[in-house]
């Protein structure tokens, strides 16, 4: 390390700034005399002074300084790599306590090293401490090399640089979330003080001033450095130019010599050609004479038999290349019979075995029978639920209300649905639809009926729809839907027969097209019945080989009946006992396992060069994929989660992340999700979930805001309950009366399937090995930090989620504070870290208490 740039004065640790120089060469006599005189003048050096100035003392102190600096370098490096682990100990324990715990300290400099580095860096002047190390090194080096060492100058300069580094770094990293204070507490506090008194701009200006101060102190050194740098750059440039010129010169020389040799070759060739053509001419003439004399046939092939001969003398004058060229010239040959020829005759290889049959995925359960329609109750519903009088009354009210607002109507048409009647109004010409839309609330009030929904305009028509609930709503029995022609003839991949539209059409949606669905509705409005309807319609259409369900039921009662389907239709982790996942602790593992299944399926699709599960299965059925290479028939997997809100409250990110992954990618590999929740609030249906679930089913919700969350518009709050629902997909919305299936019917269907021969086991999901410490965050509910709840309350009440605030508040190390923050994120209490910005606090105190209650 060069120290002489900075150290311009002499070093004398005893006498301040007094010159002290050890002669580095044999000292001239005169100098000795001067020194002796000076020594005499200095009131006879005492024993201490002699000791200090002694060569051996300098050597020893120099070495000691360098050793000390080396120790500091090691502890500092070790601090940057292991400091976070030691931080709790260095903050809370004394050195001797740390020493007793010995092996728990990771710093290479032991407890003292850990303590020193923590004190000098995080608790001190941050990376300014590196300047102090440099200071010791420079002193030691100076002493050893007997060079000039300006003790005070070096000390002052180092101090200024260290403080500047601390303050400037403190400013730059003021908002950084890191376990180490890069500018130290010093840099942080100074900047806090500056910002509170002279604002951020003032703090920046102070930093600029400090940098300018350092620059002016080192102006000379900087100038020298710059000159040296310029010199090196110039030298490099000159070298490059010289090399380029040399290369250019040699290229030119090569070109010239090539040109020369080419000329020689050309000349020789011309000569050869000329000579040989003369000879050839002579020979030909000779031959013609001979032919004329001997009546030889004028056969060109025979003509070539006589080769032009090149005179040996001329040949010898040629260079090697030309000789080669001459030799390489195609020889006309008459010995055709000597040329051998191999004829390759292609042959189509016959397959060892010709596959004539296709693969039947249902073969293993070939005797499986779909549940009979007779298992479903045959409920007779009234043909027309709205009598003429009711309709007339409603029509009267609508026309009079609209005329009150001066909206003339040219035509009104009523469509009677199972629960609501749609009055379709054609306004008179010139009436603006926006005007009617504005009167929505007034019209609803005048009609004095609950659950009125106004659709202005009805998409694709120039009419306005007013949906008025029927006095006697009709139930739509599932039997009527399953037995409908539309459902029976439907060839959707995964048909969800939802119920009946207002025009009494059977409403069926294809889950593969959704490709994932969110279901929301207040308690008791028909969610569970809706999910059962979906499952039933899939069971009536899909063979066990083609479809598997993963059912998650935190309420433990909704899906329990389906456990009978385990060996036919359910998928589960291999070491799980229960096929219906009721234990929230296992949900994360299952969801992650589904991610692995998704990735495996993608690998199979890639290997098969197809893009979708449908193409893949078609190829497999045609036996174009080799099962020995891991290919298999892939059943669709439908994941249904009831009460998703409870899950996200308990496990936050841990469930959100795999759900989002599946939702984003799983469509192509035949995995589809249906999430149901009572609480369609934004912290349950987060942005990422919403964005990946284009299919939405809204049963009645209590607030308009919930309707907006689930459907992005109002309407679900105006439904009348009991299976009345809005089905929205990619912005298109349909009001549907959900088909009703009773618990007995579900049970009958499950029994009918259970009675039949099934697979030996449930469809095995791949093992999931957690990446981190093996505990999912739900597992980690029990392993949460003892400070978790307190920290959660502190963060929610203070609305500040920063690791350093936890560190300061609870006097804990960065690692522990960081772990608590991760746990809070996993629990959905705070948002993810976003650079320098503080994390978002996602819940209020009430929600937090509820979450803590659930996980207690
Ligand atoms: N499609 C429907 N047709 C007729 N009645 C229905 C329909 N759906 C639900 N109901 C009625 O509403 C009741 C509650 O339905 P369901 O159990 O599905 O509500 P939920 O939304 O799942 O409630 P929770 O969230 O509390 O479980 C049913 O017992 C039934 O009487």
Answer yes or no: do 537 and 649 share one domain: yes
Instruction: Mark which of 258, 293, 327 sits at the end of a domain.
Output: 327
Q: Tell me if 523 is assigned to a ligand binding site.
A: yes
Answer yes or no: do 584 and 642 share one domain: yes
Domain that holds residue 811: 784-855
Question: Taking CB atoms and a 6 Å cutoff, what residues make up the pocket around ligand 1?
Answer: 475, 521, 523-529, 678, 722-723, 738, 740
| Average pLDDT, integer, range 826-852 | 78
Answer yes or no: do 495 and 403 share one domain: no
Cα distances (Å, whole numbers) of residue 103 to 71, 84, 95, 111, 819: 19, 15, 13, 10, 22
Ligand 1 atom nearest to 724, measured from its CA: 1
Q: Tell me if 521 is assigned to a ligand binding site.
A: yes
Q: Residue 817's domain is classified under what CATH number?
A: 1.10.10.10
422: β partners? 415, 467
Could you give the 3-state DSSP secondary structure of residue 420?
A: strand
Answer yes or no: do 649 and 566 share one domain: yes
Answer yes or no: do 618 and 695 share one domain: yes
Q: Output the residue whose Cα is nearest ligand 1's atom 15.
A: 526
Residue 757 has, within 13 A of its CA and on its CB side, a CA count of: 7
What confidence tier does 262 reach under pLDDT thresholds 50, 70, 90?
A: low
Answer yes or no: do 749 and 843 share one domain: no
Q: Print the SS3 string covering 259-276.
A: HHHHHHHHHHHHHHHHHH
Answer yes or no: do 277 and 163 share one domain: no
pLDDT tens, residue by residue, 432-467: 777 777 777 777 777 766 667 888 777 777 788 888
Give residue for tokens 């319609």.
Answer: 537
Q: Tell me if 173 is assigned to a ligand binding site.
A: no
Q: What is the mean pLDDT of the chain?
A: 79
259 domain-assigned:
yes
Answer yes or no: do 146 and 183 share one domain: yes
Answer yes or no: do 555 and 624 share one domain: yes
Answer yes or no: do 825 and 805 share one domain: yes
How many angstroms separate the alpha carbon of residue 479 from the centre of ligand 1?
A: 17
| Average pLDDT, integer, range 412-440 | 81
174 domain-assigned:
yes
Give residue for tokens 């109507």.
Answer: 409
pLDDT confidence of residue 394: 82
What confidence tier does 830 reach under pLDDT thresholds 50, 70, 90?
A: confident
Report d(CA 127, CA 134) in Å as an integer.
12
227 domain-assigned:
no
**In this structure, what DSSP letter does residue 374 have?**
G
593 domain-assigned:
yes
| Domain count along the chain | 5
pLDDT tens, residue by residue, 18-65: 433 444 444 444 444 445 544 444 445 577 777 777 778 888 888 998
Instruction: Mark which of 469, 496, 515 sits at the end of a domain.
Output: 469
Could you give the 3-state DSSP secondary structure of residue 725?
A: strand
Q: What is the DSSP string of 644-709?
A: HHHHHHHHTHHHHHHHHHHHHHGGGGTEEEEEEES---TTTS-HHHHHH--EEEE---SSHHHHHH
pLDDT tens, residue by residue, 509-536: 999 999 999 999 999 999 999 999 999 9
How many angstroms separate the alpha carbon of residue 522 from the centre of ligand 1?
A: 10
pLDDT tens, residue by residue, 605-637: 999 999 999 999 999 999 888 888 889 999 999
755 domain-assigned:
yes
Q: Residue 743's domain is classified under what CATH number?
A: 3.40.50.300
Does ipTM top 0.95?
A: yes
362 domain-assigned:
no
Q: Tell me if 524 is assigned to a ligand binding site.
A: yes
Q: Output the residue whose Cα is nearest ligand 1's atom 30.
A: 722
Cα distances (Å, whole numbers) of residue 715 to 125, 189, 216, 498, 734: 61, 54, 71, 19, 11
Instruction: Mark which of 444, 469, 494 sits at the end of a domain.
Output: 469
779 domain-assigned:
no
Cα distances (Å, whole numbers) of residue 801 to 6, 804, 832: 45, 9, 10
How many angstroms separate the alpha carbon of residue 548 from the centre of ligand 1?
A: 25
pLDDT confidence of residue 102: 64
Answer yes or no: do 717 and 568 share one domain: yes
Report d(CA 221, CA 215) in Å as an integer.
9
User: What tokens appear for 616 in the block?
Assistant: 């893949």
pLDDT confidence of residue 26: 42
- State residue 700 phi and psi, 5-degree precision: -60, 130
How many angstroms separate the alpha carbon of residue 526 from the centre of ligand 1?
A: 3
Q: Output the residue whose Cα is nearest ligand 1's atom 18.
A: 526
Answer yes or no: do 460 and 481 share one domain: no
Best residue among 476, 496, 526 to mutate for probing ligand 1, ranked by most atoms within 8 Å of CB:
526
17 domain-assigned:
no
Helix (H), strand (E) at residue 243: helix 219-294
Report d(CA 813, CA 818) in Å as an integer.
9
User: What tokens appear for 669 in the block?
Assistant: 């590999």
pLDDT tens, residue by residue, 722-764: 999 999 988 788 899 999 999 999 999 999 999 999 898 899 9
pLDDT confidence of residue 771: 57
């Amino acid at each position: 390390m060069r120290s002489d740039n900075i150290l311009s004065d002499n070093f004398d640790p005893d006498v301040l700034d007094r010159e002290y120089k050890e002669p580095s060469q044999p000292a001239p006599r005169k100098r000795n005399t001067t020194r002796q005189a000076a020594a005499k003048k200095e009131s006879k050096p005492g024993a201490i002074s002699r000791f200090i100035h002694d060569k051996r003392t300098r050597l020893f102190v120099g070495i000691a300084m360098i050793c000390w600096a080396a120790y500091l370098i090691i502890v500092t490096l070790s601090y940057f790599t292991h400091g976070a682990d030691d931080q709790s100990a260095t903050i809370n324990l004394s050195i001797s306590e740390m020493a007793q715990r010995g092996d728990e300290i990771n710093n290479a400099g032991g407890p003292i090293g850990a303590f020193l580095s923590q004190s000098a860096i995080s608790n001190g002047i941050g990376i300014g401490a590196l300047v102090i190390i440099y200071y010791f090194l420079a002193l030691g080096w100076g002493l050893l090399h007997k060079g000039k060492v300006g003790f005070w100058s070096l000390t002052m300069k180092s101090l200024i640089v260290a403080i500047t580094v601390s303050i400037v770094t403190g400013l730059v990293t003021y908002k950084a979330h890191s376990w180490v204070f890069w500018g130290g507490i010093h840099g942080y506090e100074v900047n806090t003080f500056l910002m509170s008194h002279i604002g951020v701009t003032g703090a920046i200006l102070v930093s600029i001033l400090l940098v300018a101060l350092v620059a002016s102190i080192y102006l000379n050194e900087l100038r020298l450095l710059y000159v040296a740098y310029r010199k090196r750059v110039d030298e490099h440039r000159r070298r490059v130019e010289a090399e380029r010129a040399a290369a250019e010169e040699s290229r030119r020389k090569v070109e010239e010599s090539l040109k020369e040799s080419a000329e020689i070759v050309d000349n020789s060739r011309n000569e050869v050609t000329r000579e040989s053509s003369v000879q050839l001419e002579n020979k030909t003439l000779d031959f013609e004479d001979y032919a004329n004399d001997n009546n030889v046939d004028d056969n060109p092939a025979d003509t070539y038999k006589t080769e032009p001969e090149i005179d040996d003398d001329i040949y010898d004058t040629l260079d090697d290349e030309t000789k080669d060229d001459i030799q390489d010239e195609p020889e006309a040959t008459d010995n055709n019979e000597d040329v051998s020829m191999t004829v390759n005759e292609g042959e189509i290889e016959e397959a060892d075995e010709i596959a004539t049959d296709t693969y039947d995925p249902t073969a293993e359960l070939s005797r499986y029978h779909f549940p009979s329609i007779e298992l479903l109750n045959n409920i007779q519903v009234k043909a027309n639920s709205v009598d003429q009088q009711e309709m007339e009354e409603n029509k009267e009210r609508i026309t009079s209300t609209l005329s009150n607002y001066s909206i003339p109507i040219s035509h009104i048409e009523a469509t009677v649905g199972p629960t609501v009647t749609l009055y379709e109004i054609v306004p008179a010409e010139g009436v603006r639809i926006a005007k009617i839309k504005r009167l929505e609330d007034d019209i609803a009030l005048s009609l004095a009926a609950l659950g009125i929904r106004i659709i202005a305009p009805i998409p694709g028509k120039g009419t306005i729809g007013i949906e008025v609930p029927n006095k006697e709503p009709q139930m739509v029995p599932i039997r009527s839907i399953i037995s409908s022609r539309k459902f029976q003839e439907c060839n959707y991949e995964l048909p969800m027969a939802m119920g009946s539209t207002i025009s009494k059409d059977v409403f069926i949606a294809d889950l593969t097209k959704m490709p994932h669905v969110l279901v929301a509705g207040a308690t008791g409005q028909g969610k569970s019945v809706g999910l059962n309807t979906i499952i039933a319609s899939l069971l009536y259409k899909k063979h066990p080989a083609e479809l598997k369900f993963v059912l998650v039921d935190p309420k433990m009662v909704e899906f329990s009946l389906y456990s009978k389907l385990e060996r036919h239709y359910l998928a589960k982790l291999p070491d799980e006992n229960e096929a219906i996942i009721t234990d929230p602790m296992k949900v994360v593992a299952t969801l992650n396992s589904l991610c692995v299944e998704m990735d495996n399926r993608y690998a199979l699709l890639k290997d098969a060069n197809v893009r979708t599960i449908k193409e893949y299965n078609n190829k497999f059925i045609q036996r174009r994929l080799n099962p020995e290479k891991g290919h298999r028939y892939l059943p669709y997997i439908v994941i249904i989660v009831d009460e998703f809100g409870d899950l996200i409250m308990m496990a936050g990110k841990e469930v959100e992340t795999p759900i989002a992954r599946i939702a984003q990618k799983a469509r192509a590999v035949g995995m589809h999700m249906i999430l149901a929740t009572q609480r369609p609030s934004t912290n349950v249906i987060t942005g990422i979930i919403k964005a990946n679930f284009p299919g939405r089913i809204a049963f009645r919700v209590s607030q308009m805001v919930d309707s907006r969350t689930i459907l992005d518009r109002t309407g679900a709050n105006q439904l009348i309950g009991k299976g009345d629902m809005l089905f929205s997909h990619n912005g298109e919305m349909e009001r549907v009366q959900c088909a009703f299936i009773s618990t007995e019917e579900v049970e009958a269907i499950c029994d009918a399937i259970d009675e039949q021969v099934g697979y030996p086991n449930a469809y095995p999901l791949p093992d999931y090995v957690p990446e981190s410490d093996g505990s999912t965050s739900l597992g980690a509910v029990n392993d949460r930090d003892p400070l978790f709840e307190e920290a959660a309350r502190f963060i929610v009440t203070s609305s500040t989620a920063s690791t350093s605030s936890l560190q300061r508040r609870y006097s804990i190390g960065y690692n522990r504070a960081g772990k608590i923050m991760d746990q809070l994120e996993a629990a959905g209490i705070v948002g993810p870290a976003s650079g320098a910005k503080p994390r978002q606090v996602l819940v209020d105190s009430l929600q937090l208490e509820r979450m803590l209650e659930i996980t207690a």
